[in-house]
Amino acid sequence: MASEKKSAVLVILESPGYWLMLKRNRTPNLGLYTPVGGKLEPGESPRAAAIREVKEEVGIKLQDISYSGLLVDSSPRDYNWICFVYRARVNYFKPPICDEGKLSWIPVDSLDTLPRPASDSYLYRYILSEQPFFLNAVYSDEDCLVEISEEISGEIHSV
C-alpha cells in the first residue's frame, strides 16, 4: 500500500566543475550518490530546510541559494516523495565527516558514471541546463522507475 508523500529538499552544492555528493549509508538510496538534503521539519519552509540540512550535513551556512525545481516520486509502495531542489555555488572546501555517508567532490562530467537513484540522471540534465523543472517519477511495485515526465515542457520518458 502506498505511503503518504514525504517532503524533502535536495541541495546541489557546486564549485567550478564539481558537485559535492553524498554516498549514502542509510535508506533511502543506501549506497547511492545523492546531493545533500533531507526531510522538512513541521512548519519549516523548503528554503529554510535546505539551508538547515546543508549546515547539519556539511557544516557551512549558505548565504546564496536558488530554487531549481521539483521532483515528485510516486510508488505503489513506500517510495513517495516531494523533493524541492536547490542549487548553491560555494568555494571548494575539504568535505567533512558526515553521519549520513561519505561526502566527495565529483567532477560534473562523471556524474553519470556514479551509482545513483534512477531519476537523478534526468534531474541533473535540467539542473545543468539551468531550466526550471517539475519532474514526476513513477515507480513500479518493485520500486523500479518506469516513467518520468516533465510537467513544464510536457516531455515523457518511458524507462
pTM as predicted: 0.94
pLDDT at 136: 96
Write the CB contacts of 128 (distance below 8 Å, at least 6 apart in sequence): 108
Write the CB contacts of 79 (distance below 8 Å, at least 6 apart in sequence): 28, 73, 139, 143
CB atoms within 10 A of CB 123: 23
Q: What is the pLDDT of residues 89-100, one digit of tens each?
A: 999 999 999 999
Q: Give how far the C-alpha of residue 72 lies from the chain's centroid of Cα atoms, to the nearest Å.
A: 11
- Grid cell locating 141: 511495485
pLDDT at 11: 98
pLDDT at 56: 96
Separation between Cα atoms, residue 3 and residue 74, nearest integer Å? 9
Average pLDDT of the chain is 94
Segment 106-116 mean pLDDT: 96
Instruction: Output 3 or 148, whichever has higher pLDDT.
Output: 148
pLDDT at 138: 95
Torsions phi, psi for 112 (to 5 deg)? -70, -10
- The dihedral through the CA atoms of 73, 111, 95, 47 has a sign that is negative
pLDDT at 159: 77
* Per-residue pLDDT band at 107 (split at 50, 70, 90): very high
- Paired with 6 in beta bridges are 81
How are beta strands 81-89 and 6-15 bridged, if at all?
A: parallel
pLDDT at 79: 83
Q: What is the pLDDT of residues 25-78, one digit of tens each?
A: 998 899 999 999 999 999 999 999 999 999 999 999 998 999 999 999 999 988
pLDDT at 1: 61
